[in-house]
Amino acid sequence: MAPENSLSPGTVDASALGLIPAPRTLTAAAAGPYPLGYRTPLTAGPGTEGVARWLRATLGPPTGLPLPEGDGTGTSVGDGSGRGSTGQGIVLELDDSLAPEGYRLAVEANAVRLTGGTAAGVFRGAQTLRQLLGPDAFRRAPLAPGRTWEVPPVVVEDEPRFGWRGMLLDVCRHFLPKDDVLRYLDLLAAHKLNVFHFHLTDDQGWRIEIKRYPRLTEVGSWRSRTKYGHRASELWDETPYGGFYTQEDIREIVAYAAERHIRVVPEIDIPGHSQAAISAYPELGNTDVVDTTALSVWDTWGVNPNVLAPTDDTLRFFEGVLEEVLELFPAETSPFVHMGGDECPKDQWKESPLAQARIAELGVKDEDGLQSWFIRHFDAWLTARGRRLIGWDEILEGGLAEGAAVSSWRGYGGGIAAAEAGHDVVMCPEQQVYLDHRQDGGPDEPMPIGYVRTLENVYRFEPVPPGLSEEAARHILGTQANVWTEVMQNRARVDYQVFPRLAAFAEVAWSALPAPADRDFAAFDARMRAAHYARLDALGVDYRPPGGPYPRQQRPGILGRPLEGEPPVV
């Protein structure tokens, strides 16, 4: 069903509020608007204390309001300032009759009452409250001290369509410092997204400290130079490049995500995309067919032929890696661990006597079976430790372990096959929601990659493909937008590729929208222009303007790889 944005005539203009993602219902309240003042208390019911801390820390700087702790009766605890009170203030509560991430935000005569099915639901509602206060509520200091802040007279009742609403951030091709990662967690939270897929290892860099294997970061996190543009470009940046997150950094990122009710899915890529690890520990590679001691961290893009050797020593090595990963990413925040499994060329295994002997020993059919052996081993290993393995749709090749889930990236096909076979699926087809793909067909798009995926294209993306059986559709956990950073050297370039399209994606993932052809993109675009671009401005997001890139956002002459026409539906 479509979100209702019906308010009584003459009360509140729903489009002017610009709520994104659109709530299920938005109606006029009998009372209000509700003013917020210096003595307006914030009362946190049992289980909502963390949301209250976030609200004070987030709304305090732009409004200048302390939101003192309330006692539920409209009195600020310990406040003897004598300034005017506004009744019961903001009240946070839990109600287990609501969906876990569902919430109800109601402006009443004496309170703004925010009720959620869980603390996560209250937190999602707090994002709506922040939006209702206007774009200036997204700043870090008051623009006009002493201004009046009001919550419009509305009742919002809302819950998400999907339980998995995610974004992948690749920090291997280009590294983002810890503070930029924390900022992206805030941006995900502001759009009611709840999964952060943290792509931590690849051929071009190993980004997580593993104390047992220090060379993974001493050697594997640095490359001597970097390709500038698409891999066919003749341009290079000759500056040594790299970086990694210490274990303390990782703990901070995970804790920061947990406070925002965001799950973190760490990705440790095997058996392909492993040249950085092999450069640090050459014995991990296929030493009987290539001199792995001569390999360095890869400095260009594409599919790399150097893959892990199918040995017991390799298994033990990555078990050691994962033991530290599981300690850094607790099960409460990270029930899934992504093990990659994509783009693993089998050429070295075909040439390797050791690999061929392993195929015979294991009794598997071929090299695809050897990759399946890798994935099945770690599926069992993770299951024994209370976690679930998820991997790219290539892990279907050679047979998939019973409990494994699939990220369907090459199109819908892998996800359909997995769901029909009873496996859980996250839909993230590259033709639709790879945000490194270009946003326009014009000549000014910087380093244009892939098919044109406009804001409207993303808004019309449907995660559940037509024709999927009802039983299989229940295995669609949700959806995810993927951000691969080969041509995104810094935060500004990431912002440009991600926004504003992530706002459209967030509405697809959260809201109960009609079929793609029936979606009211004009209304969505109006909400973007009425308020949401201004919110992104306040947050300092360097998004692509609706009229095209600014001159500073362009990269003239830097080769990309644009694909023409409509992307195939596969």
Residue 568 DSSP code = P
* CA dist., res. 443 & res. 435, Å (int): 18
The one catalytic residue in 93, 343, 440, 462 is 343
Strand partners, 412: none
Beta-sheet strand order (sheet of 103-107): 25-28, 154-158, 103-107, 111-116, 89-94, 42-44
Q: Are 174 and 485 in contact (CB under 8 A)?
A: yes
- The question of whether 150 is a catalytic residue gets the answer no
Residue 532 in 3-state DSSP? helix
Active site residue 202: yes
Q: Which amino acid is at 4?
A: E
* 327 carries an active-site annotation: no
Residues constituting the chain? 570
- List the Cα angle 80/84/88 in 5-degree steps: 90
- Residue 169 token pair: 């951030």
Q: Which residues contact 468 (CB under 8 A, 6 or more apart)?
A: 416, 419, 420, 476
Paired strand residues for 222: 242
Choose the catalytic residue: 199, 273, 338, 475.
273
Rounded Cα–Cα distance for residues 404 and 371 (Å):
14
Residues 18 and 531 sit within 8 Å (Cβ to Cβ):
yes
Q: Helix/strand/coil (H, E, C) string of 262-297?
A: CEEEEEEEECCCCHHHHHHCHHHECCCCCCHHHCCC
Q: Which of 101, 170, 202, 367 is catalytic?
A: 202
3-state DSSP assignment of residue 531: helix
For the chain, the first-to-last Cα distance in angstroms comes to 26
Question: Rounded to whole angstroms, how far apart are CA atoms 308 and 402?
Answer: 24
Catalytic positions are 202, 273, 343
